[in-house]
Amino acid sequence: MNQTKKPTIADVAKAAGVSKAAVTFALKGTNGVSAETRERILAVADDLGWTPSASARALSNRRAYALGFIIRRDPTVLAADPFFADFIAGAEEVLADGGRVMVLSVARDEASERASYRSLASEGRVDGVLITDLRTDDERFALLSELELPAVVASQTKANHGFPSVHEDDEGGVAEVVDHLVQFGHTRIAHVTGDPAYEHAVRRRESFVAALKRHGLRPDAVVESDFTANGGAEATRHLLSRSTQPSAIVYANDLMAVAGAAVAQRQGLRIPGDLSITGFDGTDIGAHLFPSLTTVRTNPFLLGSTAASSLVKFIDHETVSDVTLPSPELIVRDSTGPAPTDQGA
Amino acid sequence: MNQTKKPTIADVAKAAGVSKAAVTFALKGTNGVSAETRERILAVADDLGWTPSASARALSNRRAYALGFIIRRDPTVLAADPFFADFIAGAEEVLADGGRVMVLSVARDEASERASYRSLASEGRVDGVLITDLRTDDERFALLSELELPAVVASQTKANHGFPSVHEDDEGGVAEVVDHLVQFGHTRIAHVTGDPAYEHAVRRRESFVAALKRHGLRPDAVVESDFTANGGAEATRHLLSRSTQPSAIVYANDLMAVAGAAVAQRQGLRIPGDLSITGFDGTDIGAHLFPSLTTVRTNPFLLGSTAASSLVKFIDHETVSDVTLPSPELIVRDSTGPAPTDQGA
DNA sequence: CTGAAAGCGCTTACAG
DNA sequence: CTGAAAGCGCTTACAG
């Protein structure tokens, strides 16, 4: 690839008969040039196909005009989880206007994750990062402070981390699911949790327990799992082998619910006749299964765009307050129905 | 965020009692400094926590040390398609060692996709891009040439684009699926295509037709669809409403197969007793459905890592030849079985 | 409203 | 083997 030399600001300045500074001013549209001159300069720039060099601008401004997003690749979960794609699309939407760019990194483990944050920060690749999937006692907060790397946390947390945050209210979603099942007469409602290393797994479990208690039910069928299809299947086998089978299972995500439903069907149970099942995420595919999956629809796209705009403001030293997005919405489909009549109180 | 000033190469040079050039040499490890001095310099750099500034390096070297990947967001497909996550993870693996970074962009439509390529190129944000999901008569080739932006095509194509390419052999995968079904005695085998705007949809259809003919069967049940769950469901309803129903359906991806299976089940058909079904992709969730999905396992991770290393070489003006990865592998699971005995020839 | 100069933090010839 | 200088392409005070 023998690049013909790209035009520089000097070329534009010369062609327009002005100084380089004038070109910069024209571009920013602020002050320093008359409207007329500005037009001419922009026309020339457009003509030559000139856009300021990102690295030169970054060097001058001490600003990369880039945001970082580091995903920890939990191989089985990542691929199946539509969260990231939507979240990134949402963030992108905000970055695109603003001439910013997203630097994405995928880390295999904690060590390489840490290394990624470190190098993004010390090389000045990004001006800030988006944080998701909080772990309990997440060590990233300390790291970010040490690196003095601005961040916005796109998740709910108990941690007092001092970064601006954006989150959906999971609790409301779980409560809606439980209410829905109770209305159908279910009393033996089980829960399959996500990986408790993640805060949202713990939070959903706590919300589940609280919701059950509110209805005077005993949360004695909570099985710990890990958000994977495999984990969901195993937890389901375990629940179904108990002496008192649940009449409904609330899963912490769609993927486990789908795998769990298959396990139940394989054992000859009818859904929802014998067993009601609910997911969490609102993945598109849930609508197209047999039976279709009752779930809670979260909004990763909105979460991504909101978090990104908070981060952009935060980097610019504007005051940004925490944002709570509307509660995710219960989507009632075919996998839930009346409790079996044989069920005791 | 009151950044304490980051150390620069000058700080390192002073602290080590050498020139800035010496630091650069020490870092590259090539020539110019004695092993001893080199050690000392690196120790000092480590001590101060210095890493070269990406933008300064980029400006000097006229190299961004970044690769671009632009995804066109087809909202319904993207979220459900695990391809991207795996592909990106594979590419990342290669970039990480090498100090490179991936710039990800998500485009809503062709216009914003074009704009993304243009700005990445003209701002010098990236040194090259990875191209996937080729369309028939893909206009990106012309664009890339115009922009003189190095690229590697991670897909098979008939187009004579002049860029290095890496691809898996789809044809083999489709042939394996058809052979498998024929061995089970199926003769009325249908195909639900992906969106024919994409080359791989067309290629899979052609492979299907060829495979059927090889077995002396008539490919008279090919329904055009679009890779989405909805599309797969509709195509399936159409096929099942025909006077001569197929005994097996080959879908161009897993997502459509899953949705198609649900449609068949909803109509009371047993899978595989009444209808055999196959997907394409080998998504993890397919293993956890009821029945589990027979499919073809592709390897997006390998595709991503191979494409990324080709691109890195291509950017460095090394000669890179096209790579054909091993044929994807047939994964036989529960959704395929013997043809129903009532079936005529 | 405009122009010349210095600086951002590297790298790269070019002298010594 | 090492040092001083120029340059990468912008932006930003600072004069005019």
Whole-number pLDDT of residue B2? 38
DSSP B281: B
Per the CB < 8 A criterion, the answer to whether B174 and B193 are in contact is no
Among B149, B229, B262, beta carbon nearest to A290: B262
DSSP A285: G
Residue B208 CA and nucleotide C3 C1' are separated, in Å, by: 69
- In chain B, the percentage of residues whose pLDDT exceeds 90 is 75
A32: confidence class by pLDDT, cuts 50, 70, 90: low
Per the CB < 8 A criterion, the answer to whether A154 and A165 are in contact is yes
**CA A91 vs CA A106, A314, B176: distances in Å:** 17, 15, 41
Q: pLDDT, tens digit, for every residue of A271-305?
A: 999 999 999 998 888 999 999 999 999 999 999 99
B243: confidence class by pLDDT, cuts 50, 70, 90: very high
Non-local CB neighbours of B301 within 8 Å, separated by 6+ positions: B86, B87, B89, B90, B93
Written as one letter, the residue type at A184 is F
Residue B36 vs residue B117, higher pLDDT: B117
Q: Within 10 A of A49 (CB to CB), how many other CB atoms are there? A: 13
Q: Within 10 A of B54 (CB to CB), how many other CB atoms are there? A: 26
Range ranked top by mean pLDDT from A110-114, A132-136, A236-240: A236-240
On chain B, the residues whose CB falls within 8 A of the CB of A266 are 290
Q: Which nucleotide is nearest to B38 (CA to C1')?
A: D1
**CA B285 vs CA A195, A245, B114: distances in Å:** 18, 25, 34
Whole-number pLDDT of residue A1? 37
- The residue-averaged pLDDT of A248-265 equals 97
Written as one letter, the residue type at B22 is A
Q: Within 10 A of B300 (CB to CB), how many other CB atoms are there? A: 24
Report if CB A32 to strand C is under 7 Å: yes
H or E, element range at A250: strand A248-251
- The residue-averaged pLDDT of B278-299 equals 94
Per the CB < 8 A criterion, the answer to whether B290 and A265 are in contact is yes
Residues 47-86 of A with CB under 7 A from strand C: 56, 59-60, 62
CA distance B78 to A288: 16
**CA B153 vs CA B103, B126, B157, B174: distances in Å:** 17, 16, 9, 22
Whole-number pLDDT of residue B305? 96
Non-local CB neighbours of B302 within 8 Å, separated by 6+ positions: B90, B325
Nearest CA in chain B to A72: B89
Q: What are phi and psi of B85, to 5 degrees?
A: -60, -45
pLDDT mean across residues, chain A? 91
Question: Could you give the residue ranges of the DSSP H alpha helices within chain B?
Answer: 9-16, 20-28, 35-48, 54-61, 75-80, 83-96, 110-122, 140-147, 170-183, 199-214, 229-240, 254-266, 300-315
CA distance A118 to B49: 10
Among A51, A55, A106, beta carbon nearest to B92: A106
- The residue-averaged pLDDT of A243-259 equals 96
Q: Does A299 touch chain B (CB under 8 A)?
A: no
- The residue-averaged pLDDT of B3-25 equals 85
CA distance B318 to B305: 17
- The residue-averaged pLDDT of B201-217 equals 97
Whole-number pLDDT of residue A80? 59
What tokens does A216 get?
């005077």
Whole-number pLDDT of residue B75? 57
Among A79, A85, A122, beta carbon nearest to B284: A79
Instruction: Give the distance, in angstroms, between the CA of residue B3 and the centroid of all CA atoms in the same chain.
Output: 39
If contacts are CB pairs under 8 Å, which of residues 221-240 in chain B contact chain A?
229-230, 232-233
Residue B60 CA and nucleotide D7 C1' are separated, in Å, by: 8
- B227: closest CA among B247, B206, B198? B198
- The residue-averaged pLDDT of A14-22 equals 88
- The residue-averaged pLDDT of B115-125 equals 96
Task: Among A305-314, B3-12, B247-256, name the one with the lowest average pLDDT.
Answer: B3-12
Could you give the maximum distance between any two Cα atoms of chain A, in Å?
88
Place of tokens 């403001």: A313
Q: Does B88 touch chain A (CB under 8 A)?
A: yes
CA distance A164 to A147: 17
- B335: closest CA among B286, B267, B285, B283? B286
Task: Among A124-128, A166-170, A177-181, name the one with the lowest average pLDDT.
Answer: A166-170
**Positive or negative CA dihedral for B235, B237, B242, B247?**
positive
Report if CB A287 to strand C is under 7 Å: no
Whole-number pLDDT of residue B30? 65
Whole-number pLDDT of residue B3? 45
On chain A, the residues whose CB falls within 8 A of the CB of B287 are 229
Whole-number pLDDT of residue A178? 98
Please answer yes or no on whether A122 and B82 come within 8 Å at the CB atom.
Answer: no
Residue A43 vs residue A5, higher pLDDT: A43
B1: confidence class by pLDDT, cuts 50, 70, 90: very low
Does pLDDT of B68 surpass 70? yes
**What's the whole-model pTM score?**
0.94
Q: Does A122 touch chain B (CB under 8 A)?
A: yes
A3: confidence class by pLDDT, cuts 50, 70, 90: very low
- B203: closest CA among B172, B171, B178? B171
B108: confidence class by pLDDT, cuts 50, 70, 90: confident
H or E, element range at B70: strand B66-72
- The residue-averaged pLDDT of B29-36 equals 74
Q: Which residue is nearest to nucleotide C5 (CA to C1')?
A: A21
Per the CB < 8 A criterion, the answer to whether A197 and A184 are in contact is no
Whole-number pLDDT of residue A345? 40
- Beta bridge mates, B278: B250, B294
On chain B, the residues whose CB falls within 8 A of the CB of A106 are 88-89, 92-93
Whole-number pLDDT of residue A75? 57
- The residue-averaged pLDDT of B125-148 equals 95
- A330: closest CA among A91, A154, A169? A169
Q: pLDDT, tens digit, for every residue of A72-131?
A: 876 555 555 778 888 999 999 999 888 999 999 988 889 999 999 999 999 999 999 999
Place of tokens 């040439």: B145
CA distance A187 to A199: 27
Q: Does A289 touch chain B (CB under 8 A)?
A: yes
Q: Which nucleotides of D are covered by protein (CB under 7 A)?
A: 1-5, 7-14
Does pLDDT of B144 surpass 90? yes
- In chain A, the percentage of residues whose pLDDT exceeds 90 is 75
Does pLDDT of B342 surpass 70? no
pLDDT mean across residues, chain B? 91
Spell A132-152 as b/e; 16+ CB within 10 A means b.
Answer: bbbbeebebbebbeebebbbb
Whole-number pLDDT of residue A188? 97
B38: confidence class by pLDDT, cuts 50, 70, 90: confident
CA distance B129 to B110: 16
Residue B56 CA and nucleotide D7 C1' are separated, in Å, by: 12
What tokens does B99 get?
């100090």
Among B50, B88, B285, beta carbon nearest to A104: B88
Q: Within 10 A of B159 (CB to CB), how many other CB atoms are there? A: 17
H or E, element range at A39: helix A35-48
Per the CB < 8 A criterion, the answer to whether A90 and A305 are in contact is yes
Whole-number pLDDT of residue A204? 96
